[in-house]
């Protein structure tokens, strides 16, 4: 079913507001347009369904089965603090009940199907370029992942996948979104046994077990880092990311960069080379990997050590206003292999946060 918005419909009214705003500020990105208008990004696209946007089924199994055939693409995952863009080819992905996995040298993802609620195929003109993407959103209408065709993408395979995912109903404006859940408290629980928590941290055997420790104690990362501060964590200056990345680049130390939305964690593993800080953003601008970090959204930065069966694993973790992790940096490593001593040296040499260097 295909239909354009009737001129008196809510979708038409929303699109008229979008046009009025863009007439005043033509360079606004869609995410910023949505914020300014008090709606979600998915609602903006849903209003255009049947005109220049195609509604897709958010079917992860079909998506992961078809993407390897499409060849080289760019995949983008973001949150309010950071944007992570990785170019390359999908390997075969798998979806279990609660999690999907894509583990390849280019594209490395952890996917959470319960947060994949809506999808769209979007084609826009950006100057002399055509941007063709599949975009997927959670129940709040916030993007969980966007996948872009590139010059080396297999157009036929991409088109077949779009057709396979096309939703039967192309009526505009039918999407319903839910209010965002209240963020968990960033405070340390009043009844927390600090000694027992530190003891449990000291007995971690895998970095993934950290999430279980948080869940068991109803804590966010920021609160946990405070409890073990001075033993397993230390505070870093808020502007530490540029220094960290420049040292990794200069010493040619491969790293891992994790950025997550509700429905996807996207990982880059490899070197970083071109680091550029400009206009309130710290950026990595490499051919296959881009990171864009909004400096003002980093509310605390920590050097963190977690015990594992492979020895201590060191990370630099940037937290948002709610005490949740927005970006994680590790030295490149695989399970069963100790972390790179060069990476550990870089992190240990980072200056500690003091009142004089608090930004």
Structural domains of the chain, with CATH: 10-91+117-165 (3.40.1570.10), 194-348 (3.40.1570.10)
Q: What tokens appear for 303 in the block?
A: 């050097």
**What is the sign of the dihedral through the CA atoms of 25, 31, 33 and 38?**
negative
The number of CA neighbours under 13 Å toward the Cβ of 295 is 15
CB-based burial label for 18 (10 Å; 0-12, 13-18, 19+): buried
% of the chain beyond a pLDDT of 90: 84
Q: Using an 8 Å Cβ cutoff, are 101 and 93 in contact?
A: yes
In three-state secondary structure terms, 280 is coil
Residue 234 dihedral angles phi and psi, to the nearest 5°: -150, 150
Q: Using an 8 Å Cβ cutoff, are 157 and 70 in contact?
A: yes
Task: Give residue 6's pLDDT.
Answer: 54
Give this prediction's pTM. 0.93
Q: What tokens appear for 216 in the block?
A: 């068991």
Task: Give residue 97's pLDDT.
Answer: 83
Given the structure tokens 């078809």, which residue do they identify?
A: 66
**Element spanning 272, H or E:** none
- Scored b (16 or more CB within 10 A) or e, 55-82 reads bbbbbbeebbbbbbebbbbbbbbbbebb
Low-confidence residues of the chain: pLDDT under 50: 1-2, 358-359
Query: How far apart, in Å, do the first and last CA atoms of the chain sit?
Result: 54
| CA dist., res. 230 & res. 225, Å (int) | 9
173: region left, alpha or beta (phi > 0 left; psi from -120 to 50 alpha): left
Residue 201 dihedral angles phi and psi, to the nearest 5°: -60, -45
Secondary structure of the chain: what % helix, strand, coil (to 5)? 30, 35, 40
Task: Give residue 2's pLDDT.
Answer: 47
Q: What tokens appear for 104 in the block?
A: 């390849």
Helices (H), the chain: 10-24, 30-37, 41-47, 60-70, 155-165, 194-202, 209-216, 221-227, 240-250, 341-348
Count other C-beta atoms under 10 Å from residue 174's C-beta.
14
């Amino acid at each position: 079913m295909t239909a354009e918005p009737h001129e008196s419909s809510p979708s038409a009214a929303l699109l008229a507001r979008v046009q009025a705003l863009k007439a005043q500020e033509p360079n606004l990105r869609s995410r910023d347009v949505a914020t300014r208008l008090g709606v979600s990004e998915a609602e903006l696209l849903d209003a255009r369904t049947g005109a220049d946007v195609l509604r897709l089924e958010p079917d992860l199994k079909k998506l992961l089965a078809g993407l390897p055939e499409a060849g080289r693409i760019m995949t983008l995952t973001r949150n309010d603090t950071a944007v992570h863009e990785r170019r390359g080819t999908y390997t075969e992905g798998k979806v279990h009940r609660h999690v999907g996995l894509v583990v390849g040298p280019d594209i490395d993802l952890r996917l959470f199907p319960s947060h994949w609620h809506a999808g769209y195929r979007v084609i826009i003109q950006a100057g002399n370029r055509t941007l063709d993407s599949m975009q997927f959103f959670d129940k709040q209408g916030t993007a969980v992942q966007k996948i872009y065709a590139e010059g080396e993408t297999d157009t036929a395979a991409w088109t077949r996948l779009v057709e396979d995912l096309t939703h039967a109903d192309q009526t505009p404006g039918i999407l319903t979104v839910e209010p965002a859940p209240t963020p968990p408290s960033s405070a340390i629980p009043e009844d927390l046994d600090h000694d027992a928590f530190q003891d449990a941290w000291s007995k971690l055997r895998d970095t993934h077990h950290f999430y279980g420790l948080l869940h068991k104690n109803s804590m966010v990362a920021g609160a946990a880092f405070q409890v073990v501060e001075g033993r397993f964590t230390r505070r870093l200056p808020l502007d530490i990311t540029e220094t960290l990345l420049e040292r990794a680049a200069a010493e040619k130390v491969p790293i891992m960069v994790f950025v997550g939305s509700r429905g996807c964690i996207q990982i880059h593993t490899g070197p970083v080379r071109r680091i550029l800080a400009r206009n309130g953003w710290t950026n990595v601008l490499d051919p296959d990997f881009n990171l864009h970090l909004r400096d003002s959204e980093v509310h605390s930065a920590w050097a963190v050590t977690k015990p594992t069966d492979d020895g201590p694993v060191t990370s630099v973790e940037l937290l948002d206003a709610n005490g949740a992790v927005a970006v994680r940096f590790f030295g490149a490593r695989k399970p069963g292999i100790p972390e790179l001593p060069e990476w550990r040296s870089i992190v240990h040499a980072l200056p500690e946060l003091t009142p004089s260097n608090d930004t």
